[in-house]
């Protein structure tokens, strides 16, 4: 039975967004003013289409929702294209260091899957890498720096080296 306000309304499915997104890190920061502490949030987001495009964005705001929006907008400005092989792996082994984070990513054979931890797994997954091994060598547990190191490693892959 249709009630008064719902008569004639049509519900359409929401369009799927261009990029998938996942929040990698969130931090509440504070600055001290005369009235007390003012809190704000810093959010790190990884976006990707799982077909070879991936990016990391940082957003800061007084509430988390607008910080996430800012991070997604920032990420869309510097998207990295990752060359993938036919079996969903990377063309060759790469290593990178960002701040104190050291990352190594190696191609894996078909059916091995994505063997990676922490935020490196998120970056590789959103880039569309399906078969790869990744190792974090740093003692740092900083998720943002580990994700940026993974992005730096993927940027070392050139588009000419795909098989």
Residue 12 has pLDDT above 80, yes or no: no
User: pLDDT per residue over 77-136, tens digit each?
Assistant: 999 999 999 888 999 999 999 999 999 999 998 888 999 988 999 999 999 999 999 999
Predicted model pTM? 0.84
Farthest-apart Cα atoms in the chain, separation = 63
Q: Where exactly are the structural domains of the chain?
A: 20-80, 82-161
Distance, in Å, from the CA atom of 87 to the CA atom of 154, rounded to the nearest integer, reads: 17
Instruction: Indicate the CATH number for domain 82-161.
Output: 3.30.230.10
User: Which backbone phi and psi does 142 adopt, to 5 degrees?
Assistant: -70, 110
Instruction: Indicate the CATH number for domain 20-80.
Output: 3.30.160.20
Q: Which segment of 16-25, 47-56, 79-88, 152-161 scores lowest on mean pLDDT?
A: 152-161
Structure tokens at 88: 């969903």
Residue 41 has pLDDT above 90, yes or no: yes
């Amino acid at each position: 039975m249709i009630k008064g306000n719902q008569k004639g309304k049509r519900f359409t499915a929401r369009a799927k967004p261009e990029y998938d997104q996942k929040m990698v890190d969130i931090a509440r920061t504070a600055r001290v003013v005369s009235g007390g502490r003012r809190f704000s949030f810093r959010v790190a987001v990884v976006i990707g289409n799982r077909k070879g495009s991936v990016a990391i964005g940082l957003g800061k705001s007084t509430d988390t929702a607008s910080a996430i929006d800012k991070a997604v907008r920032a990420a869309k400005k510097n998207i990295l294209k990752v060359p993938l092989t036919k079996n969903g792996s990377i063309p060759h082994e790469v290593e990178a260091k960002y701040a104190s984070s050291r990352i190594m990513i190696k191609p894996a054979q078909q059916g091995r899957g994505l063997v990676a931890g922490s935020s490196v797994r998120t970056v590789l997954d959103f880039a569309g890498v399906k078969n790869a091994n990744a190792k974090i060598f740093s003692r740092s547990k900083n998720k943002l720096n580990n994700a940026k190191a993974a992005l730096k490693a993927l940027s070392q892959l050139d588009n000419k080296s795909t098989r």
